[in-house]
Amino acid sequence: MTELVSKWNYPTTVRFGAGRISELPDALAAANIKRPLFVTDPGLAKLPVVASTLKLLDDAKIQYGVFSDVKPNPVGSNLTAGIEAFKRGQHDGVIAFGGGSGLDLGKLIAFQAGQTRPVWDFEDIGDWWTRADSDAIAPIVAVPTTAGTGSEVGRAGVITHEETHTKKVIFHPKLLPAIVIADPELTVGMPPFITAGTGMDAFAHCIEAYCAPGYHPMADGIAVEGIRLVFENLPKAYANGKDLTARAHMMSAAAMGAAAFQKGLGAIHSLSHPVGALYDTHHGMTNAVFMPYVLAFNRDAIEERIARLAAYIGIEGGFDGFAKAVLKLRKELGVPHALPDLIKGLDMDEKRKELIADMAIVDPTAGGNPVKLTQKAALTLLDNSIAGTVPGAAG
């Protein structure tokens, strides 16, 4: 029997609801931030959603700086430049505004600006986070504009180490924002590809957390409801970006995925991280590609759990019915079925495959997979996802 011993951490204060971005000045005061650095990505920086948010700060006479040198899949040099901006402007906190890229980089600037060790020393390995000076971490107000990563309620930030081409997960309990404004109106401008990819990211978080071994019934409950919300609302948000109800439910599902994945993630993420780092693919969309292959690989270990999940959502046919529903959902959302459909002109020789498999098995998420992810298994999963072959799937 699984030991009934675990450690639970639950999200932070979330001001949830359409229009609540207007509370940003109040949230800053509540988080004791007087001179925020507003961190976002350059694409968003050009959109009206940023202009109207900055106007709220102007109207409230808040002195702020803006930093937007943030790549999708942010890299170490973005962090260095962001810390310089933070120090130059004598900021005392961060507004992390955006999808996972803007959120993570904003969170990491607030975390790292006062540290003396390199950020890589705080990778999510063992108790490395205790190396950080907790008192030197600036407060964070997070404002998500995508509904996927759930980074707004997470205690981690993901950043690519440029020299080694590896995505590193940096962890510290104080990377958790003090306050979140989750306003679904901010997500209506997301183009369909990003809506689909980010929504599938929320799904991947929930399903991997739910399947991860370990005792965490709260995470399991959250994951199951998160998956139901994705099945019911992601196709609606994809078909009509202005459907605010669907957008709101997806925003919840995203936060739920991140709350749930403190239980663990698995091979979807272990494969997605190296592929994202090497090919700069969208994280959620890459997860979506790998999902059916990994579910099939884990089948023996998760069949019963997935049958329970399917029954809750109202999907008939147990594991097989669920696996079919995943394929149908992907198709509806235009998710590429095989890796070469995601990465055009993909030419992966054996050496490259071995590199990805090697990176996957040491990724911190690999330990959460319900079946041990060996190098051989990772290679098989890669081969299947390149060929588009889902073992056991009919038709």
Instruction: Write out the residues near ligand NAD by the rule CB under 6 A.
Output: 41, 43-44, 47, 49, 72-73, 98-102, 104, 145-146, 148-149, 151, 154, 156-158, 186-187, 189-190, 194, 198, 201, 258, 283-284
- Rank residues 201 and 320 by Cβ distance to ligand NAD and give the closer one: 201
When the beta carbons of 106 and 320 are compared against ligand NAD, the nearer one is 106
User: What separation in angstroms does the CA of 247 have from each of 45, 289, 346?
Assistant: 21, 22, 33
Distance CA 73, CA 213 (A): 28
Nearest approach, Cβ of 206 to ligand NAD (angstroms)? Answer: 12
Q: In angstroms, what CA-CA distances link 32 with 51, 97, 100, 122, 387?
A: 23, 18, 24, 25, 53
Choose between 365 and 385: whose C-beta lies nearer to ligand NAD: 365
Which structure tokens are listed for 375?
A: 């190098």
Burial class (CB in 10 A: 0-12, 13-18, 19+), 145: buried
Locus of tokens 């204060």: 13
- The CB-of-31 to ligand NAD minimum distance in angstroms stands at 19
Closest approach of ligand NAD to the CB of residue 90, in Å: 27
Query: What is the closest distance, in whole angstroms, from the C-beta atom of residue 394 to ligand NAD in the complex?
Result: 31
Tokens read off for 95: 């507004």
Residue 33 CA to residue 181 CA, distance in Å, equals 15
> For helices 192-211 and 244-260, what crossing angle results, to 10°?
40
Least distance in angstroms from the C-beta of 165 to ligand NAD:
14
**Residue 18 Cβ, how far from ligand NAD at the closest point, in Å?**
14
Indicate the residue among 48 and 118 with the shorter CB distance to ligand NAD: 48
Taking the complex as a whole, how short is the minimal distance between the CB of residue 386 and ligand NAD, in angstroms?
22
Q: Kindly tell me which of 212 and 315 has the beta carbon lying closer to ligand NAD.
A: 212
Take residue 129 and report the two structure tokens written for it.
């986070």
Q: How wide is the angle at C-alpha 99 spanned by C-alphas 11 and 258, nearest 5°?
A: 30
First to last CA, the chain: 38
CB distance 200 to 288 below 8 Å: yes
